[in-house]
Amino acid sequence: MSKITFIGAGSTVFVKNILGDVLTTPALQGFELALYDIDEERLRDSERLLESIKNTLGSTCTVKAYLDRKQALSGAKYVINAIQVGGYDPCTITDFEIPKKYGLRQTIADTLGIGGIFRNLRTIPVMLDFARDIQEVCPDALFLNYTNPMSVLTSVMNTAGGVNTVGLCHSVQVCVSRLFKALDMDATGVQSKIAGINHMAWLLEVKKDGVDLYPEIKRRAAEKQKEKHEDMVRFELMQKFGYYVTESSEHNAEYHPYFIKRNYPELIERFNIPLDEYPRRCVDQINGWKDMREKLFASESIEHERSYEYASFIMEAIETNVPFKIGGNVMNTGLITNLPKEACVEVPCLVDASGVTPTYVGDLPPQLAALNRTNINTQLLTIEAALTGRKEHIYHAAMLDPHTAAELSMDDITALCDDLIEAHGDWLPKFK
């Protein structure tokens, strides 16, 4: 029996989407769905949920929860990762509240910026522990990473971890459909091409019947900017740099030096930027979990329809050798020629029985590559800090971060990093 292992299986709703999809897929019947989490109560919830969906669908998969990670991984063909190290309390709170003392505000802080740096630093050691187990008990497994910060963690698993890893993010999947919905345009039959880096990939082409739709998109976006809406940062970036970016405005507000500025508070209002958005989401999710749990288990016969998540489609394509196209995060093996070879890039990939094969993109428009490189700089220095254990590289990563550098002096950045290292305590390894 082949095995699909889900690490972070206490994320019950996400497990329902990803492994519920597996239960609906004929080519994936007969697999063992191995669940692992450090929270036994949430782990058992996920096990119970999947058993119910399995019985409703008549699936021949087996569901098994593990408290031992290595046992859960043993013999796995596919490993799905959806962990969050440190959770909302204490680590997310720390990532937001200490920078506030320096006047540095954030929106999401899970990818770049000072929050993204420290989320990486506490997550990388855990991921490398996974990699060591995988090398021992399932060395040929394909690792499907859903955990942020996507670019850095996918890079570390591929390089330092030696694990065949592809990073998967929702932003590419929903980019065109949500853009067209916001602009009251019909996305039927639209052909698009997206490439860049995670959370800052670019809609390079958008056509229908050979006609470039960008002029109409930009016309409608300019009209929409006259009133408040949730995508004002992305529309502003498109107006100034020429292309639409895949990830949300609340994310992109903190990836650039232009939007969140103490000396220009009117920008927050003008671009409708939701400061402290991620902590609010965390609180809502924590408070809503009890009601959500009751709804999930209201019936012993739980149904599920296949979602748009990539994971089951990737596994199905490999098992059946019927090709499927994804937007995947992979190492830049000459794929985007004006981004560093050390970078993790997000490009179209073909999936079939030979695995995940990235496609060649070539040069991005120079202004887009330049914006990507500002984020890649911080990503690479964060990896350097994690792998060498040298504190100076944490400072370097933060000083090169566009938003942090736009707000704070080098001395303040160093002091902020020291405060965050102290506040994180044992959630971080020791740096020298």
pLDDT per residue as tens digits for the range 366-382: 999 999 999 999 999 99
Asked if 46 contacts 15 with a C-beta cutoff of 8 angstroms, the reply is: yes
Q: Which of 170, 256, 304, 393 is catalytic?
A: 170
Decide if pLDDT at 134 tops 70: yes
Write down the pLDDT at residue 1: 65
CA 75 to chain centre: 26
Is 304 assigned a ligand-binding role in the annotation?
no
- 349 annotated among ligand-binding-site residues: no
Per-residue burial over 211-226, b if 16 or more Cβ lie within 10 Å, else e, is eebbeebbebbeebbe
Instruction: Please state whether the predicted TM-score (pTM) of the whole model is above 0.85.
Output: yes
Superfamily designation of domain 3-167: NAD(P)-binding Rossmann-like Domain (3.40.50.720)
**pLDDT for the residue 297:** 87
Which pLDDT belongs to residue 115?
98
Cβ partners under 8 Å of residue 39, min gap 6 = 10
Look over the chain and give the mean of its residue pLDDT values, rounded to a whole number: 97
pLDDT for 291: 86
Nearest to 204 by CA among 372, 339, 370, 361: 361
Homologous superfamily (CATH) of 168-275+313-432 is AglA-like glucosidase (3.90.1820.10)
The pair of structure tokens assigned to 118 is: 């420290």
Q: Computed from CA positions of residues 47, 48, 49, 54, in that sequence, does the dihedral angle turn out positive or negative?
A: positive
344 belongs to an annotated ligand binding site: no
% of the chain at pLDDT higher than 70: 100
170 is catalytic: yes
Region(s) of the chain under CATH 3.90.1820.10? 168-275+313-432
Task: Flag the least confident range among 12-16, 26-30, 349-353, 354-358.
Answer: 12-16
Distance CA 382, CA 401 (A): 10
Indicate where the chain has its CATH 3.40.50.720 domain(s): 3-167
